[in-house]
Structure 1
Amino acid sequence: MGLGGTAKKLQKVIDAAEQLYSKMNEVIERLTKLERDVEHTSTQVDHLERDVAEQRALVEALAEQQGIDVDDVLEQADLPPEPTAADDAGEQPDGDADGTTVDVSEET
């Protein structure tokens, strides 16, 4: 094998490395955006939790003022079930967070 064959192989390795570098940069950008989105969503959830707590306090105060038993009303209400720890963590069996399956097999 001459230098031409070696140069071709070396060029293939260089091309593959450049593609990998480009893909890594894309993944890093996507992860950075995802981190920002998660932080923003977390802040929004914190604000919503505070708003709901404030509203609950006001409704309970108004209910007490009107002589309404809040616990009795809640027992009679048709509420969805309490979320479990797995629901809070966003875990879904055999799939991704959006319900799609994830293929983790290696490509050759």
Structure 2
Amino acid sequence: MGLGSTAKKIQSLSDRAEAMYRQVQELQERIINLEEEVDDTHNTVSKLDHNITEQRALLLAIADEHDLDGEQILAEAAIDEAEAGDDDASDEPEAADGETVGAENSA
């Protein structure tokens, strides 16, 4: 094996190493950006959660002023929402012959 062949192989390895280093740098930047976005999202969710807690307290106080059971109203709303979610989940597309798509035949 000649010196020229060895130099070409070393240059090729060096080029690949530089390309991999650039990729690692790009990935590191992307990860840092994602971490920042996750932190921002976490802060936003925390603020929204706090706002919802405050609004719930206000609504319960208003309901109490009007002699309404705020907890009962919220419980009924949660039940209605859960039932609506169940209805949406059971809505499967139907084939042209009226059978539910994806349902197994019981014949």
Same fold per superposition (TM over 0.5)? yes
Q: TM-score, normalised by structure 2?
A: 0.71
The structure whose Rg is larger is 2
Note the aligned Cα RMSD (angstroms): 1.4
Which range is displaced more, 36-45 or 70-79? 70-79
- Structure 1 unaligned blocks of 5 or more: 82-108
The aligned amino acid for 1:32 is I
Q: Which amino acid aligns with 1:67?
A: D
Within 5 A, what are the aligned runs for 1:77-88? Answer: 77=77, 78-80=80-82
Identify the residue that residue 28 of structure 2 maps to in structure 1: 28
CA shift for structure 1 position 23:
0.2
Aligned residues: 81
Instruction: Report the CA distance between 1:80 and its aligned residue.
Output: 4.0
What is the deviation of 1:79?
2.1
Secondary structure of the residue aligned to 2:81 is coil
Q: Which residue of 1 aligns with 2:49?
A: 49
Query: Helix, strand or coil: the match of 1:79?
Result: helix
TM-score, length of structure 1 as denominator length: 0.70
Paired amino acid for 2:28: I
Q: Distance in 1 between matches of 2:13 and 2:42?
A: 43
Alignment correspondent of 1:58: 58
| Greater RCO (Cα-Cα under 8 Å, separation 6 or more) | 2
Letter aligned with residue 36 of structure 1? E
Report deviation, 1:73. 1.4
Residue 2 of structure 1 is matched in structure 2 by 2
Alignment partners' CA distance in 2, 1:71 and 1:59: 10
Greater shift, 37-46 or 21-30, is seen at 37-46
Measure the CA separation in 1 of the matches of 2:76 and 2:40: 36
Supply the distance in 2 between the matched residues of 1:3 and 1:21 (Cα, whole angstroms). Answer: 27
